[in-house]
Amino acid sequence: MKSLQKLFYLLLIPALVFTSCKDEDEPTPVVDSPYETMTAYMVANDMDLTDILDGWIVGAPAETDLTTFLDGYTVLDVRGTDDYNTGHVEGAINSSLGTVLDDAAGSTKPLLVVCYTGQAAGHAVVALRLSGYPDAKVLKWGMSGWGSDTSGPWSGNSGENGNNAVGHNNWTTSATATVQEFGAPTFTATSTDPAAILQERVSYMIGNGFQGVTSTDVLSNPDNYFINNFWAQADVDHYGHIAGAFRIQPMSLETGEFENLDPDGTVVTYCWTGQTSSMITAYLTVLGYEAKSLKFGANNMIYSELESHKYVPPSVDLPVVTE
């Protein structure tokens, strides 16, 4: 019996050695993360941020061009029902950020998303452009640019109410923060298919609603945020910026600037009006960043000093429909 046991062990040892060597010789397969899988797909299918920000906004038409303008779009109004009923663009569908993809289904025209200020609409348009509607657009200034009766949201946050950074200790003309390189964000996905991962992330973004933060909060607590000034260098040199802000612009998945954002911080983007930054914030949320848009942008911080990009109440009241 002992002889048989000894023979068994003698035969077993080479097998173990062979198996061990084989395991060590075989390379461990590299599996892309959901972020890598999804972003490679986005670049390959013209959904890089530079693509999403191409032709994404359109201003209200002249009154003489109104009929032609409206005939060219399916209009989705994502304001609250009461405000929609008080007055909306003729033919507009009352939608919401959470239902905009369902409400867009079946449209044979380019989509035009309307909100109060042109900011929340940016989140909706990013969702649409990442979901098969590459011609979706934001109505510039939202209903605040359509007529005086609906201009309150912008009028109340610009003009004399738009100088929160003028004379503030945390508005500076010093150099912006030195750009660093961070790792990519991480998130989980239930699928390994890149298109399915993207739609999961789009659903996550619109399900969380519009992500905004006030200039008062950011100016008072800049250290709480990873702040990105989405301006050209010449504009930063001319106007200054929020203390501690970075200037990362442009940003592209293909060329890697997103890895200059801190995936462990709250990324606050600001621009001139809060409209571009809403688009970027929605896109960052899809990518897995915790992101917020600084509402009303520079128009709410240095309005009196701006030489361009300023909100001006509409001089013509375009017609609305009431229900």
User: pLDDT for 168-221, tens place per residue?
Assistant: 999 999 999 999 999 999 999 999 999 999 999 999 999 999 999 999 999 999
- Concatenated DSSP letters for 116-182? SSSSHHHHHHHHHHTTT-TT-EEETTGGGGT-GGG-HHHHTTSGGG--TTTT-TTEE-SPPPPP---
Structure confidence at residue 256 (pLDDT): 97
- The domain locations on the chain are 34-160, 164-305
Structure confidence at residue 29 (pLDDT): 62
DSSP code for 308: S
Structure confidence at residue 6 (pLDDT): 47
Report the alpha-carbon distance of residue 158 to residue 151 in Å, rounded.
11
CATH hierarchy code of domain 34-160: 3.40.250.10
List of the chain residues with pLDDT < 50: 1-22
Total residues belonging to the chain: 323
List the beta bridge partners of residue 293.
212, 269
Q: Is pTM beyond 0.85 here?
A: yes
Indicate the burial class of 303 (C-beta count within 10 angstroms; 0-12, 13-18, 19 or more). buried
How far is the first Cα of the chain from the last one, in angstroms, to the nearest whole number? 96
Instruction: Check if 34-160 and 164-305 are the same fold.
Output: yes
Select 164-305's CATH number: 3.40.250.10, 1.10.150.120, 1.10.3720.10, 1.10.340.30: 3.40.250.10
Give 114-141 pLDDT, tens digit per residue: 999 999 999 999 999 999 999 999 999 9
